[in-house]
Amino acid sequence: MTVVLEATVDSELTNFFETQRQRIDASLDVLLEPASEFPTILHESMRYSVFAGGKRVRPILAMATGDALGGPQTAVLKLAACLELIHTYSLIHDDLPAMDNDDFRRGLPTLHKKYGEGVAILAGNALLTLAFKRLSELSAEGVDPTVTLSVIHALASATGTPDGMIAGQVVDLLTAGKDFSESELLYIHRSKTAALIRVSITSAALLCGSPPDVLERMSAFGSSIGLVFQIADDILDVEASFHELGKTAGKDAQAEKATYPARYGIEKSRLLKTEQLDRAMTELEFLDSRAERLRQIAQFIDSRGH
């Protein structure tokens, strides 16, 4: 009986993910230039990476936050799609030969393998630039211009430096093959991965007009669930196969990357992941049943590294 119930919940969550993914993909299709628009190779390559079959974790978190806090759905969906544009840009650049040098992503050749390095760098730049352009249009959806500016500011901070995604990626790149400290490891994971996941939640909360105490709790939830995500990723890189990952497995160990398993071993990494999940769940308590979907997504993010 328990098994049947769990299967029901899983299938309900799977359906939810699928429905949200379709909404996000439809929004992305509108935000991106058509592939037929000149210069076609640029627009084709942007779409190749955006529609390569990502899980849409960040936009789904933004939309679930919007639902939990009662935000404007159309604006949150547009924000959600912009988050995916930024995430895709970061993956394209991370895969470059000068970075992680990956040949596969989501089971497909990486963008630079298919279109060349120059186009890949430019397609990444174009996705980042497009995200800011589309974000600046949020007030056309009825969002107060000051709120739109605060969303742009939050996203630029979380994806930049000194404690955003680019800063984390620099330290990730430079510690590869070297000894690394506990604080460097935490800095990398917080900046490289958790910052964008956190801002996916806080930027949606900003659109909902959340007061400072709510923003603070949602930020803490986002930080913790972002760490859960990256620790799970680290564990998967050790334990999963190419087929399961859609990309070459064991790359972190090969490149001697600063990861949780490299520092703590698999078992302690799992414990630290559970600790962060618990923290994340505690932060959501104030939302009672409104946060049910966010809790399910958090569980899903955690389960990737079981």
Provide the binding-site residues for a copy of itself, judged by CB under 8 A.
33, 37-39, 41-43, 93, 96-99, 116-122, 124-126, 128-130, 132-133, 136-137, 139, 145-146, 148-150, 152-153, 156-157, 159-162, 164, 166-167, 169-171, 173-174, 187
Q: Which is nearer to a copy of itself, 60 or 167 (CB)?
A: 167
**φ and ψ of 109, to 5 deg:** -60, 140
The residue (of 107 and 145) whose beta carbon lies closer to a copy of itself is 145
Cβ proximity to a copy of itself: between 3 and 38 the closer is 38
- Least distance from a copy of itself to the Cβ atom of residue 261, Å: 23
User: The tokens 């600046």 sit on which residue?
Assistant: 136
Beta strands in 46-85 (DSSP E): none
Tell the smallest beta-carbon distance from residue 234 to a copy of itself (Å).
Answer: 20
Tokens matching residue 107: 């089971």
Instruction: Specify the residue, 16 or 132, whose C-beta has the smaller distance to a copy of itself.
Output: 132
Query: Per the structure block, which two tokens stand in for 1?
Result: 């009986």
Which residue, 293, 291, 273, is CA-closest to 282? 291
Residue labelled with tokens 């105490």: 213
3-class secondary structure per residue, 173-242: HHHCCCCCCHHHHHHHHHHHHHHHHHHHHHHHHHHCCCCHHHHHHHHHHHHHHHHHHHHHHHHHHHHCCH
Least Cα distance to 235 among 165, 173, 305 occurs for 305
Smallest distance, Å, CB 11 to a copy of itself? Answer: 40
To a copy of itself, the closest distance from the beta carbon of 190 in angstroms equals 13
Please say which residue, 67 or 95, places its beta carbon nearer to a copy of itself. 95
**Rounded-to-integer distance, Cα 26 and Cα 60, Å:** 14
Q: How far is the CB of 58 from a copy of itself (least distance, A)?
A: 17
Give 118 or 241: the residue with its C-beta nearer to a copy of itself.
118
* Closest CB to a copy of itself among residues 170, 262: 170
Residue 213 tokens read as 């105490």
Residue 299 Cβ vs a copy of itself, minimum distance, rounded to whole Å: 32
CB of 259 to a copy of itself, least distance (A): 18
Cα atoms found within 13 Å of the Cα of residue 57, Cβ hemisphere only = 22
- CA 139 to each of CA 50, 78, 133, 157, 197: distance values in angstroms, whole numbers, following the listed order: 24, 11, 12, 20, 23
